[in-house]
Chain A
Amino acid sequence: MAEMICRLLRDGALDGEYAPALTISDSIHNPFGSYAFNYLLSHLCSNISSSKSQVWALVLIAFDHSPLFYIDLLKSNGLDVAASDKWIRILDCYSDPLGWKDKLLGLGIHVNFSKTEAIPFKDVGNMEKLFTSIVDIGRGVAGPSKVRFSVAIDSVSAMLRHATLGSVSGLISKLRSHGMQLYSSEEFHMEQSGIKFLSVSLEKLMVNQNLVPKVQFNLHLSEKERVDKAKVVLPFEHQGACHFTLLWLQEMVKRSRFMMAGSPSPRGKLTPTQRDPGPLINLLLRLQAARARSTIFVILMMRDLILMRTQMMIWIFDDIDLIWKGWDNIIAFTTELAVELEKLLQALRVTKHMELTTANFCFLRGVGCFLWIQGNLYS
């Protein structure tokens, strides 16, 4: 997985696509996120310095470690630090994040701190200013406007201490105006020489999730609502130790003949992306007629040792009142969907027999609802 991420970061974005974004999160019981960050950063720097990467430059925003730490890190990885100013710039939010040292300088208290080439930033609470600095520095080091540069932030937690969640997510959103994230996991162990990742197959565990709905529906729930929400069993909680892959619908459109993309735009219509829309899209259009304003359609397939189990989840993010008004349509939709799904799978010879075991609606009050279908595919 670590190698895959290194490659993703190296390869960058396709035309018209967003650049890959990576989030590393850790906890106090396993506080090795910074080591994973340093590992990936080193590889990215190595790729940039040897011109193997799509991006030509890197802007590193240092909150948790001093710029000297990163310079030493680059040195220890055999990178040419003397020439590093051509492809890396460090925005130093560590040494004097609030301008205290400047204030003290005015009072005559001064210490000869180690000098680095890092660019000092002394107002970390101002996300607008930080964004402007990042862009200016990136353009400065990357040169022509068409040239891409990467941004690495060594601690969002530190940013959140100085600024509100909204302004921090606003900054990240502006840096990469969309938030689709790839979540993967890989085992690692710490050795004396540093972090070592254990290579596992890609299929072992991979989850794609879109963070956008979380941002959009960041609602203030009451205690009861929070409890109710916690009781909703999410699809990935069914899996146990099984291997599963959650595929994006857009990916499914590319790979299969029968899936259609439902545009998640507000009040947007489902736009067929293939010539033959097929029965599923008709059903989705019927759902659209049931006044669901936006639909995100996700298929989850999982496999355990005995049988193929298919789980389908249709999210209907909408106003709850509108959902209730369309209730009859949704019931009809469920029934027809089950029949059509079986037909489709048989037509595609994916399996010999399919048995739908459950088809339930789960409601999240104030948010909308999702349809949850589970079935067994006997091969």
Chain B
Amino acid sequence: MEKMKQSLLDEALGLEEEEEISTSRVFLIEDCVETSGDFVLHHLMKRALSSTDRTGGGGVLLFVALAHPFSHYDRILRKLGCNLIMLRDNNRFVFFNMLKLDCPDGDGTHTIEGGAVELYGRIQKAVEISTSNGCNKGCITIMIDDISLLEIAAHGSANHILNFVHYCHTLTTEMDCSLVMLNHSDIYSSMESPGLILPLEYLADVIIKAEPLATGLATDVHGQLTVAKNGTANEHGRLSYWTRNFHFKVKENNVEYFYPGSRT
């Protein structure tokens, strides 16, 4: 029963029957203060680390952490059945601790662009090491937690962030990596034309929105997820589009997903 409910998110993400993360390459998770989308990120972390390629090799996760320290993710992923310390030792989990990332502009030596290039360079180097270690291209996932903190580190320069994300996107096409980004959409709710969120939405193959229920707080339902899949071609050249909406409840060790009205 639990497995079936878990698969509701996988099904919506197009991960249901595939061993690899997906034919979709760019995932954007949007959440808000009332409803955190962290659990979706953790779910995708687990999927990325537990995915296997056709030769049986495991997936590699390059994690750019701006929101939490390693111990936070380690504790949560342990509950989901992943040992990040072991995976890190095996070079399958690369953790970029960016909690203190700051790209000041103006002193000439450390510019915002310089900081973005440096961070991208570290990711690119990690991709290079992973491929040289025998990891197949399709099994490398880059995760950014989260974009809004990256924007703060860049002193609000959305353009530099978009350049950075674009370069990460080139890795998805040239090295067959996947890219997962978390962003807080309500930060931009008061802006007439948010310069960052729209380009990211255009870029994403799958957009996952975590929102509170429109009817207000409920004890049995913690919020709703809307998964919008843009047209991405699968290996047979066919395009797929869909939008799914379902509710969720975050539990101690897992998350329960269900369609509205399906619970008694």
Contacts and interface: CB of A to CB of B under 8 A. Distances in A.
A129 to B, nearest CB: 18
A32 B238 CA distance: 15
B239 A66 contact: no
A157 B124 CA distance: 26
Contacts of B170: 66, 94-96
A218 interface: no
A103 B117 contact: yes
A96 B169 CA distance: 11
Q: Is the interface of A mostly helix, strand, loop or mixed?
A: loop
Contact of B239 (A109, A110, A161, A194): A194
Contacts of A76: 237
A31 interface: yes
B238 A111 contact: no
Nearest to B117: A100
A157 B163 CA distance: 13
A157 B113 CA distance: 20
A28 B239 contact: no
A190 B240 CA distance: 9
B198 interface: yes
Given A32-B231, A76-B237, A190-B239, A95 B117 contact: no
A79 to B, nearest CB: 15
Q: Is the interface of B mostly helix, strand, loop or mixed?
A: helix
A95 B174 contact: yes
Contacts of A110: 128
B159 interface: yes
Contacts of B124: 101, 104, 109, 111
A103 B128 CA distance: 16
A269 B230 CA distance: 53
Interface in A60-114: 65-66, 68-69, 76, 94-98, 100-101, 103-104, 107, 109-111, 113-114
Interface residues of B, number: 29
A97 B167 CA distance: 9
Contact of B174 (A31, A100, A113): A113
Interface string A44-74: 0000000000000000000001101100000
Contacts of B121: 100, 103-104, 107, 109
B202 A28 contact: yes
Contacts of A190: 231, 239, 241
Given A97-B166, A107-B121, A31 B239 contact: no
Interface in A16-37: 28, 31-32, 35
Nearest to A32: B231
B118 to A, nearest CB: 9
B173 A68 contact: yes
Given A66-B174, A98-B163, A109 B240 contact: no
Interface string B217-230: 00000000000001
A111 B173 CA distance: 13
A191 interface: yes
B42 interface: no
Nearest to A66: B173
Interface string B178-202: 0000000000000000000011011
Interface of B: 113, 117, 120-121, 124-125, 127-128, 131, 159, 162-163, 166-167, 170, 173-175, 198-199, 201-202, 230-231, 237-241
Interface of A: 28, 31-32, 35, 65-66, 68-69, 76, 94-98, 100-101, 103-104, 107, 109-111, 113-114, 157, 161, 190-194
